A and B are shown apart, each in its own frame.
Chain A
Amino acid sequence: MKHHLNYGLAFCLVLGIGALAMGAENEPNPIRTVHANVQMRPGGEFEEVDVPVYESPNSVPNLAAEGVAITDDDLILGVVADGEAVAFPVRFLSSYEVVNGRVGKIPVAPSW
C-alpha cells in the first residue's frame, strides 16, 4: 500500500530532526495508537499522549536491479546478510520512514 506521509518528515528518522510540522493534505489515518510519554515536536516538552501509528509496507520484495528505474545518484541503504546483498532506495524508505523487508532469511527493518 502506498501512502505519502505528508508531514515534512522526509529523511529525518535516523537524522534526528523530526520535523513534525504536519500538513493536512493527503494525511493517512492512523491504524492504531500507543500511549506514551514523548515529544510531539522537536525540542518540545515530554507529554503523555496517544501516539498515532501509520502503516508501513510489509513483505517488501527484493527486485532484480535490471527491472528497477534506479539511477546511479540515488541514495540507498545497503546490507549484506545471509548470502544476499540488498539495496533499499532512500526515496522509497523516506516515504514511509520504516519498512519491513527480508535479506536472505533475516527479517529486517530498514529505516530513514
Chain B
Amino acid sequence: MYVRRSQGEELTFDFALGLIHDNLLISDRETNSLWSQLHGKAIAGPRENEALRMVASVQTTWRQWKKMHPASRIGMTPDDWGRAYWYRDPGKPEREPEHDTTALGLGFSEGTEAIFIPLSAIEDLDYPLELGGKSFVLHGRPSEMTAWIDDAAGQLVTTVMAYESGWRSFFPDTEVFVASP
C-alpha cells in the first residue's frame, strides 16, 4: 500500500488501463503521471522515475485481521461491495478461471536482494528468514491466505502479495522461499 504523497503534494489516484511488464498502472490526477502499481514508480509524466513510499500492509481474512486488531475500522464507500470474487471458492475463480489462487505468494525485497514466498510452500508456522544481511521472521498463515514479515524489532515490513510471474517481472533475480525440512 502506498502513501499517496510526492514532493510534499498529496496525490489522488485513478486506474489506468495499460500495462508495464504485464502489471497494471495507476495515474494521479494532480500531475497526470503514470505509475506502476506493483513497483510504485512513475513510468511517465512529470513525476517519471519517482517512487512512492510504501506503508506496511497485510492481506488476510477479516477473521484473522480482527483478531489482530479488534478496534479496526473498515475503509470503503458504504455498501459498495462490487462483485463476488474468486475467494468465495479459493482455487476455483468465479470470473477468471485463468487465475490460480494457489499460486499466490508474498514478495519481499531488502537492499539488492528479493525473495518470493509461495503460500503453497509454507504452513501455519513462523519461519526465520535472512535477506540482505538482515534477520526477519516470516509468519505463515496460508489457512487464512496470508503471510507477513516482521523485522528483528518485531515491526511489520512492507511486502507485496503477488503471483511469482508478476514479482519476477520486477525482480528477475528473486530467490524463491523453500521451507527447511
Binding site for B on A (CB under 8 A): 2, 4-5, 7-20, 22, 30-32, 34-44, 49, 51-58, 60-65, 68-81, 84-92, 94-101, 103, 106-111
Binding site for A on B (CB under 8 A): 1-5, 10-27, 32-34, 37-38, 43-45, 52, 55-63, 65-66, 68-69, 71-88, 93, 95-96, 98-99, 104, 145, 156, 160-163, 165-167, 169
Q: 5 closest pairs, A vs B, by CB?
A: A16-B166, A95-B82, A36-B44, A85-B69, A72-B63
Say yes or no: A75 contacts B60, CB within 8 Å.
Answer: yes
CB contacts (< 8 Å) of B145 on chain A: these are 75
CB distance from A25 to the nearest CB of B (A): 13
Some 28 contacts from A to B, beta carbons below 8 A apart, are A11-B86, A12-B24, A15-B162, A17-B163, A18-B19, A31-B14, A36-B43, A39-B18, A43-B22, A54-B17, A63-B78, A70-B74, A72-B61, A73-B62, A76-B62, A77-B58, A79-B57, A85-B69, A85-B73, A86-B75, A89-B81, A91-B81, A92-B76, A92-B77, A94-B82, A107-B5, A108-B3, A111-B26
